[in-house]
Amino acid sequence: MLRDADVFVGVSAPGILQPGWIADMAADAIVFALANPDPEVDPAAAAKYAAVVASGRSDYPNQINNVLAFPGVFRGLLDARAEDVTTEMLLRAASALANVVSDEELNASFIIPSVFHPDVAKRVAAAISGKEI
């Protein structure tokens, strides 16, 4: 199933993706191995074949962690007095999160801000509430 695929997104179990299989993916493949605490493939091994690798691990670049969205999502929902979470809100939050990384900073090892970046929560909250900054 990976042959010529552009992206692998794993949220399943550790060690199910062999690094060599990534070589069969499309050129400049992207691998998000997000099983925690042990990802589907070792991020360092995946980086030998993929253009961009992300995992849930804080000891590798591009840590994908739900703390990037929270508490900003909840703050934004409270600020908006929202009764529902909509797809539009979540897409705005994702865009705001992505835009914390400037074009100058963006590279294969820095596609998402650190969970400690001071702008993350406030930008996500503003996007959720519809009051983007």
Q: pLDDT tens-digit profile of 31-81? A: 999 999 999 999 999 999 999 999 999 999 999 999 999 999 999 999 999
Confidence of residue 133 (pLDDT cuts 50, 70, 90): low
Say if residues 56 and 66 touch (Cβ distance below 8 Å): no
Q: Is residue 28 part of a domain?
A: yes
13 within domain boundaries: yes
Q: Which domain range does residue 114 map to? A: 66-129
Summarised one tens digit per residue, pLDDT across range 75-98 is: 999 999 999 999 999 999 999 999
pLDDT of residue 129 exceeding 80:
yes
Contacts of 75 (CB under 8 A, 6+ apart): 121, 122, 124, 125, 128, 129
Is 115 within a domain? yes
Does 60 fall in a domain?
A: no
Please state the three-class secondary structure of the chain as a single string: CCCCCCEEEECCCCCCCCHHHHCCCCCCCEEEECCCCCCCCCHHHHCCCCCEEEECCCCCCCECCHHHCCCHHHHHHHHHCCCCCCHHHHHHHHHHHHCCCCCCCCECCECCCCCCCCCHHHHHHHHHHCCCC
Question: In this structure, are 92 and 123 located in the same domain?
Answer: yes
Same domain, 75 and 124: yes
Residue 76 lies in a domain: yes
Residue 114 domain-assigned (yes or no): yes
Residue listed under structure tokens 């400049």: 28
Domains contained in the chain, number? 2
pLDDT confidence of residue 122: 96
Task: Judge if 73 and 46 occupy the same domain.
Answer: no
Cβ–Cβ < 8 Å for 46, 60:
no
